[in-house]
Structure 1
């Protein structure tokens, strides 16, 4: 049987699908992953069928078209759909996703790829909403983009989830609408927000999230699940460069600093200077990820610049992880059992920053706009306190023991098995 996965985001959105796909392959499924061209090598490297998608997300993010939203309502206007690349992603990408679903027996889709729900309905097959953040309303905590805001009680908490759900659907439905009308001359039957409908036996929701980080709410309905993060557990085949290997071996565990694919390219030089000064103030060695938010420089005895090293392999060997607060990087830092510092730029990053502080595993959450050398140096110092190190170690152990990808694959297998056995009967 073939399972198609639709990923629409960055590497941090695509990599959990690979982890889930590895577990599904072990159960005998064929797995096809639709993702941006930037991630073709990553997908094929793990032996999956790769389905190309027009509109390269990595290049779009680097272009500066996508604006980081530093408040909840800016999140819904952070994309400029007049841009040619985004139009291609919106229409061409939908067509590519539809093609990737041909012949599938089930569809697993990211919240940004709502086409998956309507194609599954059209084909009469199960669909699984696979979200990197909680998408289902609850009274227990606010929606992810409201999490770092003023708390106004349980009723308002639930209201923020409904606002987030409707706003996210408004963003996600533009491409589906245009593509479907272009192809069929009309909207899909029953065209409306799919997220609330994705809570049935044949259309469940699974969140790639640790219940040790956000406990499963008591008021979540049936068929919404959160078993743990989806990690690529086996890194034994990864071989680092001699440069990385030597740097790690030749001194105390360094601090990692990386601002992901959404880093502020315009201030990359300033960010790099700030980071180097903060490391010097602490007498710390550093590994700097020279992505869009940082500028590559000459390596020194105490500073190594890298481009791409798997977080699951690298992070456990460090003394602290300083990052932008992307869901995937936060998860990898938690798994490593190493303290962290979050420098949020926008969107859901503020939520992860606040939650890490609440859990006691972080030296602080400092919005990028407020970052200074002294603040960063102080936060790194705090990560080395015995209390933070112990909390990080303890939570890391819990996260590693959850086996989220395996349990999620079991649920998907059960969903498919039940669906097709009922169909046969």
Structure 2
């Protein structure tokens, strides 16, 4: 049986699908992953079928079409939908996602790829919503983009989820609507918000998140599941470049500093100067991942610039991980069992920053716009106290033991066996 997975974002959005796919392959399923063409080598390197989506996600992020959002309202307007090139790219991307589903027996889709639900309905096959954050309404805590804001009780909490769910659907539906109308002249049957419909036997929701980070609410429906993060476990064959291996051996554990696929390249030089000045004040060594938001410089005795390395391998060697608060990077930092400093740029990153602080594994988050040499120095010093180090280690051990990808693959396997078994009997 063929399971197609639809991803629409950065490496942090795509890599969990690889982890889940590896577990499904062990059960005998064929797995196809649709993602930005940027990740072809990554996906095919693990032996999956790859369906390319037009456009380079990193180029889009660096183009200015995606704006930083430090409030819920800005989140819903963070994409410049009026840009004609982006509109055509979105429509083309929906066409690619639709084509990727051909021949599938089930579709697993990211919340940003809602076409997965409608294609599954069209084909009469199960769909599984795979979200990297809690999305199903609950009274127990606010929705992810409201999490770092004021608290006003249980009814307010549930309202924020409803607003988030509807707002996310509004953002995700535009491309689907334009593509489907262009291709078929009419909308899919029952065209409406699919997220609330993903809470049945054949259409469950999976959250690729540790229940120790955001607990499973008691008021969630039965068909919403959160077993743990989806990590790629097979990292033992990674061989680091000689320069990186030697740097790690030549002194005490360094800091990791990297801002993933976010950041304004126009301010990269200023940001790099700030980070280097803070490092000089602390006297600590660092591995800096040069990319969006950080400028590559000459290496020194205490600072090594790299172009990337698997977080699962690299982070356990660090004294602390300084990052932007993307869901994927946060998960990898938690798994490593080392302290964190979150410097959120926008969107859900503020929530992850606050939650890491609440869990006792990080210093208080520093919004990128408020980052200074002194508050970065203070945060670095905070993460090196015994209490945070011990808590990060403890939580890392729990998260590594959860086997979220394996348990999620079991749920998908059970869903498909039940669905197709009933279909045969019918």
Band the TM-score falls in, shorter-chain normalisation: over 0.9
Shift of 1:138: 0.3
Q: In structure 1, how many angstroms separate the alpha carbons of the residues matched to 2:276 and 2:117?
A: 46
Question: Aligned residue pairs: how many?
Answer: 425
Matched with 1:385 is 385
| Conserved? CA contact 1:7–1:35, under 8 Å | yes
Shift of 1:285: 0.2
Secondary structure in 2 aligned to 1:364?
coil
Shift of 1:257: 0.4
Q: In structure 2, how many angstroms separate the alpha carbons of the residues matched to 1:277 and 1:96?
A: 45
Q: In structure 2, how many angstroms separate the alpha carbons of the residues matched to 1:168 and 1:37?
A: 24
Matched with 2:18 is 18
Give per-residue Cα distances to partners, 1:199-246, cap 9 Å, x unaligned: 001000000000010110000001000000000011012111111111
Matched with 1:57 is 57
Q: In structure 2, how many angstroms separate the alpha carbons of the residues matched to 1:161 and 1:265?
A: 33
| Conserved? CA contact 1:60–1:85, under 8 Å | no
Q: How does 1:216-365 map to 2 (within 5 A)?
A: 216-365=216-365
Gaps in structure 1 of 5+ consecutive residues: none
Q: In structure 2, how many angstroms separate the alpha carbons of the residues matched to 1:115 and 1:93?
A: 10
1:116 lines up with 2:79 in the alignment:
no
| Conserved? CA contact 1:324–1:345, under 8 Å | yes
| Conserved? CA contact 1:315–1:338, under 8 Å | yes
Secondary structure in 1 aligned to 2:234?
coil
Give per-residue Cα distances to partners, 1:20-45, cap 9 Å, x unaligned: 00100111101000000111110001
Matched with 2:82 is 82
Q: In structure 2, how many angstroms separate the alpha carbons of the residues matched to 1:349 and 1:222?
A: 28
Secondary structure in 1 aligned to 2:298?
coil
Shift of 1:55: 2.2
Secondary structure in 1 aligned to 2:176?
helix
Shift of 1:84: 4.5
After TM superposition, the structure 1 stretch with the greater mean CA deviation from structure 2, 341-350 or 77-86, is 77-86
Q: In structure 1, how many angstroms separate the alpha carbons of the residues matched to 2:208 and 2:85?
A: 29
Q: How does 1:113-192 map to 2 (within 5 A)?
A: 113-192=113-192
Q: In structure 2, how many angstroms separate the alpha carbons of the residues matched to 1:40 and 1:351?
A: 30
Q: In structure 1, how many angstroms separate the alpha carbons of the residues matched to 2:116 and 2:388?
A: 41
Q: In structure 2, how many angstroms separate the alpha carbons of the residues matched to 1:287 and 1:84?
A: 39
Matched with 2:37 is 37
Q: In structure 2, how many angstroms separate the alpha carbons of the residues matched to 1:374 and 1:229?
A: 34
Q: In structure 2, how many angstroms separate the alpha carbons of the residues matched to 1:263 and 1:88?
A: 24
Matched with 2:94 is 94
| Conserved? CA contact 1:55–1:86, under 8 Å | no
Shift of 1:12: 0.4
Shift of 1:178: 0.6
Q: In structure 2, how many angstroms separate the alpha carbons of the residues matched to 1:392 and 1:231?
A: 18
Q: In structure 1, how many angstroms separate the alpha carbons of the residues matched to 2:217 and 2:229?
A: 17
Q: In structure 2, how many angstroms separate the alpha carbons of the residues matched to 1:266 and 1:132?
A: 30
Q: In structure 2, how many angstroms separate the alpha carbons of the residues matched to 1:227 and 1:85?
A: 39
Shift of 1:85: 4.3
Q: In structure 1, how many angstroms separate the alpha carbons of the residues matched to 2:409 and 2:268?
A: 39
Shift of 1:264: 2.4
Q: In structure 1, how many angstroms separate the alpha carbons of the residues matched to 2:184 and 2:85?
A: 24
Task: Call closer, same or farther: CA 1:241–1:23 in 2, change over 3 Å.
Answer: same
Matched with 1:205 is 205
TM-score, length basis structure 1: 0.99
Give per-residue Cα distances to partners, 1:302-341, cap 9 Å, x unaligned: 0000111010000001100000000000000000000000
Q: In structure 2, how many angstroms separate the alpha carbons of the residues matched to 1:91 and 1:318?
A: 42
Matched with 1:27 is 27
Shift of 1:364: 2.0
Q: In structure 1, how many angstroms separate the alpha carbons of the residues matched to 2:80 and 2:420?
A: 42
TM-score, length basis structure 2: 0.99
Secondary structure in 2 aligned to 1:287?
strand
Matched with 2:48 is 48
Matched with 2:394 is 394
Secondary structure in 1 aligned to 2:188?
coil
Q: In structure 1, how many angstroms separate the alpha carbons of the residues matched to 2:21 and 2:281?
A: 43
Give per-residue Cα distances to partners, 1:111-136, cap 9 Å, x unaligned: 00000000000000000000000110
Shift of 1:61: 0.3
Q: In structure 2, how many angstroms separate the alpha carbons of the residues matched to 1:274 and 1:282?
A: 13
Shift of 1:184: 1.1
Q: In structure 2, how many angstroms separate the alpha carbons of the residues matched to 1:89 and 1:129?
A: 23
Shift of 1:82: 3.1
Shift of 1:267: 1.0
Secondary structure in 2 aligned to 1:218?
coil
After TM superposition, the structure 1 stretch with the greater mean CA deviation from structure 2, 364-373 or 258-267, is 258-267
